[in-house]
Amino acid sequence: MQLTVPGEADERKLMLEQAVDAVKAGDKQSYEIIIKQFERQMYTYCFYILKNHTETEDAVQEIFIRAYANLHRYSSRTSFSAWLYKLAYHHLINLKHKKGRWLRLIEHYKDQQRQEQLPLPDSITQKLLIHLTIEERHILLLKAVEQYTFEEIGGIMGIGTATVRKKYERLRKKLIERAGQQGARVHGTISEANKTF
């Protein structure tokens, strides 16, 4: 899914730029090519921020619709991918602001409960991410889902490259520490889960 071969990445970039131009020229259907290129990664990014599949589906759709509506503002000076994720980042930040603290607390509790009752394949990661601040989570997710460089992440989040690097280093330490502590317990959860399925 991830394109790591340089030639392939260039090809993808070119294809995306062509699709963007086509959409701008009025070929609406080409937008589907763009969505298909990003929907899965975008889903992952939103899911680990919102922690809820319904909201994630809504958010992913809203992000792509907004990107479509604002496509005329995009210029190829930046990569389309980074432009799209910048829009996504701001959308997610706005969603979180709107939800308010109280609701978040309830949902957090509900999430915890659900995870304990029904361990999901990604629950280990979910549990780990709980220990990160929202900003750290964005950095980690952007690095993970699209394998962005610190510079690109900085561009998306509107902070300096050095700051991103420093924050990443901090979150890395946090995670490794937690992963070590949780190792045994998480392992136990999986065994139990295996029994019930």
Point out which residues bind other proteins (CB under 8 A): 1-2, 26, 28-29, 31-32, 35-36, 39-41, 43-44, 47-48, 53-58, 60-62, 64-66, 68-69, 95, 98-99, 103, 106-107, 121-122, 124-125, 128, 140-141, 143-145, 172, 175-176, 179-180, 183, 186-187
Question: Is the CB of 43 or the CB of 74 nearer to other proteins?
Answer: 43
What distance in Å separates the CA atoms of residue 74 and residue 11, rounded to the nearest whole number? 19
Min dist CB 77 to other proteins, Å, is 22
Min dist CB 153 to other proteins, Å, is 13
Is 148 within 8 Å of 156 (Cβ atoms)?
yes
Is 190 within 8 Å of 158 (Cβ atoms)?
no
Question: Is the CB of 95 or the CB of 159 nearer to other proteins?
Answer: 95
Min dist CB 23 to other proteins, Å, is 10
Is 38 within 8 Å of 20 (Cβ atoms)?
no
Question: Is the CB of 65 or the CB of 162 nearer to other proteins?
Answer: 65
Min dist CB 135 to other proteins, Å, is 16
Question: Is the CB of 39 or the CB of 135 nearer to other proteins?
Answer: 39
